[in-house]
Chain A
Amino acid sequence: MTQVISKSDLMVWLGRLSESHRLIAPVDEAGVTLFQKVSKVEDIALDFTNTVLSPKEWFFPATETLFSVEKKDGGIELVPNEDVEESVIFGVRPCDALGIALLDKPFLNEPADALYGRHRDKTTLIGLSCSEARPECFCTSMGTAPNDPANVDVLLTEVADGYIVDAVTDKGKAIVPQDLLKESDVTAPPPPSMETVPVEGIEEAMSQSFDDPYWERLADRCLHCKLCAYVCPICYCFDVRDYNDKGKVQRVRSWESCQSSGFTTIAGGYDRRAGKGPHLRQRFGHKLLYFPREFGSAACTGCGRCVKVCPVNVDIREVIADVQDLGGTSGQQ
């Protein structure tokens, strides 16, 4: 027996959540679906494959003040940003939930990022199984699946007359509305299938192909536009600057990308990743070699967003397959 919520009761539940929490959900706007703060549940888009931007921006915003500097009693005080609301994110796909779990590794390993930790502690994730896969999807190759409950607090799976409700964690059990659930013997539909990507042994293959001319060839068409980093549910590099607005000083961090010119330039002007090839290799190196070495898994969830937005069709699935075929030319790093 499973617990099911009807489609109309789902709206009742989300309505309650929007009163008790900051409710974030997919919303259609100008032809794109994005996670946004919702006050009217009718605005929520239920018929979507996935959002253009991942939900990472609700834990690691594109621009966020880390702390402000205030003058007090003749001295100076650093005031941390504690403006973090209790939130529920509805409609998180399993690939994006894996992305958040992977973001935890760099942000919550000691020394932990306090602000990210506050966002994470105060947010409950309601996942939504995928009933269809997009052409660019390959999550099953990256350790998750269209119906994977592993990284959400509650997982909903659409069935004919509503959604199967699976409260996975204590945080999830706390928000599930017992009064709206009905027992049912309905079974979940089989998850959609998708193409597989040969990731087995990619770490070694990446290491072996470090100096291969392949990277120069691939980078020939790269525009270094950085869209791949912005839409990625895991890319977490940032830049930090201080801003002084009429005497109010704030330390701000914003998304950055390894594809920015100057990203790898160090004091004195030396660039460890100078040139287009090494520059683009850094993106795939971080995802498929350096992150796995540090944290034990690839920094990719198979959501396919970078494949979809790239203006020149750089496709991580092809890169993985190509690197596996290179066979190792010069082992290094």
Chain B
Amino acid sequence: MTAAAAATPRQVCPGCYCTECFVDKLDPMWVGIRIAPEENRIWHTIRAYHLAGRCSGCNECERVCPVNIPLSLLNRKLAKDVEGLFGFQAGLDDKEMQPLGAFDKDEKLGIGE
């Protein structure tokens, strides 16, 4: 998926709120114009960090995809990891901060330490 094609899931995504998406930045250009694995990787990595713990599973990204890419597989993987690591499920409690949106100096995940 090119930067340009990446526009579709973000535009229909209720979780996306940036006034200017990083894929639209031209200077510096975060995601190149090519269809190439490295461009896909940066788009999906940043999307994953933005949506982990926030994706509510509305599946709109999958609905609009004209070539049937099963994006919900990625979304469910994000939800599973967030539940495993933080015991958090998106969309159940509007008071609780999402794990990747909050910082607690005492939190220890037992990974990377």
Contact = CB atoms under 8 A, between A and B. Distances in A.
Contacts of A30: 67-68
A226 B66 contact: no
A252 B34 contact: yes
A62 B2 contact: yes
Interface stretch (A6-14, A211-219, A255-263, A274-282): A255-263
Interface residue range, chain A: 20 to 34
A38 to B, nearest CB: 18
Given A226-B4, A239-B33, A311 B24 contact: no
B12 A225 contact: yes
A225 B64 contact: yes
27 contacts: A30-B68, A32-B67, A34-B67, A52-B67, A53-B67, A62-B35, A63-B35, A223-B7, A223-B8, A223-B11, A225-B7, A226-B5, A230-B66, A239-B33, A241-B32, A241-B34, A243-B32, A243-B34, A254-B4, A254-B34, A254-B35, A256-B4, A260-B7, A262-B24, A262-B26, A311-B8, A311-B64
Interface string A77-102: 00000000000000000000000000
A254 B6 CA distance: 14
Interface in A30-62: 30-32, 34, 52-53, 62
A226 B67 contact: no
A254 B8 contact: no
A311 B76 CA distance: 22
Nearest to B11: A223
A53 B12 CA distance: 21
B52 to A, nearest CB: 23
B35 to A, nearest CB: 4
A231 interface: yes
Contacts of B11: 223-225
Contact of A309 (B4, B29, B35, B66): B66
Contacts of B68: 30-32
Interface residues of B, number: 21
A197 interface: no
Given A230-B5, A241-B33, A254-B34, 19 more contacts: A31-B68, A32-B67, A62-B35, A63-B34, A63-B35, A223-B11, A225-B8, A226-B4, A226-B7, A226-B8, A227-B8, A227-B66, A243-B34, A252-B33, A254-B4, A254-B35, A255-B4, A262-B26, A311-B64
Given A225-B7, A227-B8, A257-B4, A311 B35 contact: no
Q: Interface majority SS on B: helix, strand, loop or mixed?
A: loop
A256 B32 CA distance: 12
Given A52-B67, A227-B8, A243-B34, A255 B2 contact: yes
A53 B66 CA distance: 9
B64 A254 contact: no
B27 to A, nearest CB: 10
Contacts of A34: 67
B73 interface: no
Contacts of A52: 66-67
A225 B36 CA distance: 20
B80 interface: no
A125 to B, nearest CB: 23
A255 B2 CA distance: 9
Nearest to B8: A225
B63 interface: yes
A261 B24 contact: yes
Interface in A217-256: 223-227, 230-231, 239, 241, 243, 252, 254-256
A158 B89 CA distance: 55
A311 B13 CA distance: 12
Contacts of B35: 62-63, 254
B3 to A, nearest CB: 9
Interface string B34-55: 1110000000000000000000
B105 to A, nearest CB: 38
